[in-house]
Chains A and B, each alone.
Chain A
Amino acid sequence: MAEYLGAGVFVPENDPQHREYLTEAGKGYLPLQQCDDCGAKIYPARTMCPECRSSDMTWVAASGKGTIYSYYIVPHPINPAFKDFVPYPVILVELDEERGTMGEHRALRIVGNLLGDDGNPAPREDVAIGKRVEVTIVDLGDGWGLPQWKLSGEPDEHEAWQIPHSYPP
């Protein structure tokens, strides 16, 4: 059975969108659905293209590059699976794909965690809005993979911005 952080990862047989999503990610890339009729790229996994209401979609590989759009740091685990993972950054990544093509303020924005080179959560100092990131796939077993993120090493897209520290150290 697939596992992540010591907890089982389970998708019922009647949920092919998510089974396929994890299977495609297991091949080593960030999977998006692309609508066969209107060409829209779709994330998260859906049962219908919300742009044109077609049911015909095909999995395609995203470039896997993007920019941190927002983030926060979680110091305490709620699910005990995260007890050795804290503190961890939750980041919202704006993908390079489809930027500026879907209308004002729209983009494909994907939540995930920023990881360091060792696969552990990146330290607070490394996280900032404006930093460039690229996808990295974490193996869940059984051929399934989970898209995560690491710094790409590219120059910041714009001046990097970090949460002002307002708690006495």
Chain B
Amino acid sequence: MAKGHGLLRGKYAVVGVGETEYSRNSGRTTRQMGVEAVKKAIDDSGLDYDTTSWGTTCYQVGDAAGSEIIFSDLGVRMDYQVDTWGGGSSSETLIGLAIGALEAGLCDAMVVYRTMNGFTEMRIGGTPVGAPAGPPPFMTRHGDHTMHSRIYGIASALQNFGLSFVRHMYEYGTTPEQLAHVKVAHSKGASNNPKAYYKQRLTVDDVLNSRYIVEPFHLLDCCVETDNATAIVITSTERARDLPRPNVAILGTGGRTHKWSPDYHWNHGPINQVGGIYTKDVVFPNAGIGPEDVDITGSYDAFTFTTLLQLEAYGFCPIGEGGHYVSDGTIELGGRRPNNPSGGHLCEGYTHGMNMVIENVRQLRGEVDDYCEGEHTYDYSEGACRQVQDPQITMNLGWAQPPTGSSLVMTNQV
């Protein structure tokens, strides 16, 4: 079988989603939050705790409770378990892995979860809260590139990614004002999302008037670090037909594809194009669609510019024209192809990708949690509706670092 064969197109479905509050003071362990999110997702699916053959996978970076703890608390016996290492780009990758486990007959339903105290325990950049105050040594581990990166003051995600986007500004004239529109668009969705950590609608000037974190990137170009757990449940579309929730089928995935030399990618240009340029050649044939068929995108918006670079890579606009695409109203709630109508990582909360998958599931079900009472009004003014009108296909764009991408296409047309 070849890459992108599409033989499992629509054969598996997301049948349950669940999450905790997005906060900056959970006051709980990743274990307790993980149990809450997984239970909510299983409850949502309607699958039976005791008679279903369960499999599970989670991802973490040494910062979270594993499946053997979560499922022991839940009193659920596992037929399959594979906990993995990773942050961003894992959600879509593990959904593909879950399909593989189901197809291999290892279990009948798979849980994918992520639990993290991303604000009170492990911050972005991998710095544990409460680390010793003195400077840590510059030390190579497992032969890594410390002597070619960290010793030059490249420590955080933004510092790792920044060179790629500045080269985009140089080559294509992309401006900080255009980037700011990503935050403006996502904040518009977040204002109609009771769960969002930041609900305030923002302007381009708000972004540009926030301080530099790494020049040219402002504070409001960065996502909001939060404490939270998130979970989804996957089973066969055939089994899903007997379950109570509206069906959301998985058309295809692409799992953590890489550009050349992802450990030090700058020698292989163009450095202002990202891993999605390879992911698209896996996910689109698998899903049997193209970018023009997608009604809602769910980008990994760790920063405003990661959204722009991913949308270009997957062909939602030509390479180099992302600045126009993100600033002409297309990606806003009410636009032609909204991106992250929940507010995403920039506004709702930071979950290493899971919350944008959950949002797209709810969008496809037609039941996002907004401020509508009863039927959705499709009135996108502040504090009102955020349900996109009749979406049929959504696409999640996963990101780990500039050379690494993953993807997921879902539909309610089953």
**Which A residues have a C-beta under 8 Å from some C-beta of B?**
4-12, 15, 17-18, 21-22, 43-45, 47, 50, 69-82, 85, 87-88, 90, 92, 104-113, 124, 129, 146, 161, 163-164, 166-168
Q: By DSSP majority rule, is chain A's interface helix, strand, loop, or mixed?
A: mixed
How near does chain A come to B411, taking the closest CB pair, in angstroms? Answer: 36
For A107, the chain B residues whose CB sits under 8 A away are: 267, 269
Q: Does B243 sit at the interface, judged by CB under 8 A? A: no
Q: Please give me the residue from chain B that is nearest to A109 by CB atom.
A: B266
Select B155's contact among A15, A78, A92, beta carbons within 8 Å: A78
Interface residues of B (CB under 8 A from A): 125, 127, 133-140, 143, 145-156, 159, 162-164, 166-167, 169-170, 175-177, 208-209, 211-218, 261, 264, 266-271
For A129, give the chain B residue with the smallest CB separation.
Answer: B170
With A15-B140, A106-B267, A164-B216 already in contact, the answer to whether A111 and B166 are too (CB < 8 A) is: no
Name the residue on A nearest B153 (C-beta): A82
Residue in contact with B140 in the complex, picked from A11, A106, A168, CB distance below 8 Å: A11
Contact: A108 with B267, CB < 8 Å? yes
Pick 17 A–B contacts, CB within 8 A, sort by A: A4-B151, A6-B135, A7-B138, A44-B264, A72-B159, A72-B166, A75-B212, A75-B214, A79-B155, A87-B215, A90-B162, A92-B163, A146-B151, A163-B169, A163-B215, A164-B169, A166-B177
- CA of A50 to CA of B271, assembled, Å: 19
From A9, A18, A21, A105, give the contact of B270 (CB < 8 A).
A105
CA gap between A123 and B294 in the complex, in Å: 46
A70 adjacent to B139 (CB under 8 Å): no
- Report the Cα distance A73→B133, complex, angstroms: 24
Give bound CA distance, A73 to B216, whole Å. Answer: 8
14 extra interchain contacts, Cβ-Cβ under 8 A, other than A6-B135, A50-B261, A166-B176?
A: A9-B151, A10-B138, A10-B139, A18-B146, A69-B271, A71-B163, A73-B215, A80-B135, A104-B269, A111-B266, A113-B152, A129-B170, A163-B215, A166-B177
Q: Are B269 and A8 in contact (CB under 8 A)?
A: no
Picked from B135, B147, B216, the residue with its CB within 8 Å of the CB of A81 is B135
B177 partner residues in chain A, CB cutoff 8 A: 166
The smallest C-beta distance from B204 to any residue of chain A, in angstroms, reads 10
Q: Which residue of chain A is the closest to B180 with respect to CB atoms?
A: A166
Closest to B176 in A: A166
Instruction: Please state if A17 and B143 are interface contacts (CB–CB under 8 Å).
Output: yes
In the complex formed, the residue of B with least CB distance to A72 is B162
Closest to A71 in B: B166
Instruction: Give the CA-CA distance A99 to B169 in the complex, in Å.
Output: 22
Residues in A with CB closer than 8 Å to B212 are: 73, 75, 167
Q: Given A75-B215, A164-B216: A7 and B270 within 8 A (CB)?
A: no
Q: CA separation between A6 and B137, bound complex, in Å? A: 9
Q: Which residues of A contact B127 (CB under 8 A)?
A: 78
Give every chain B residue within 8 A of A44 (Cβ-Cβ). 145, 147-148, 264
Assembled-state Cα–Cα distance A113/B133 (Å): 24
CB nearest neighbor in B for A105: B269
Q: A18-B143, A72-B214, A111-B154 are in contact. Are A92 and B266 (CB under 8 A)?
A: yes
**A23 to B: closest C-beta gap in Å:** 11
> 4 shortest A-B CB distances, which residue pairs?
A105-B269, A81-B135, A8-B137, A166-B176
Decide if A166 touches B162 in the complex (CB within 8 Å).
no
- The minimal Cβ–Cβ distance linking B320 to chain A, given in whole angstroms, is 14
A88 to B344: give the CA distance in the assembly, Å.
31
Tell me which residues across on chain B come within 8 A of A111, comparing CB atoms. Answer: 148-149, 152, 154, 163, 266
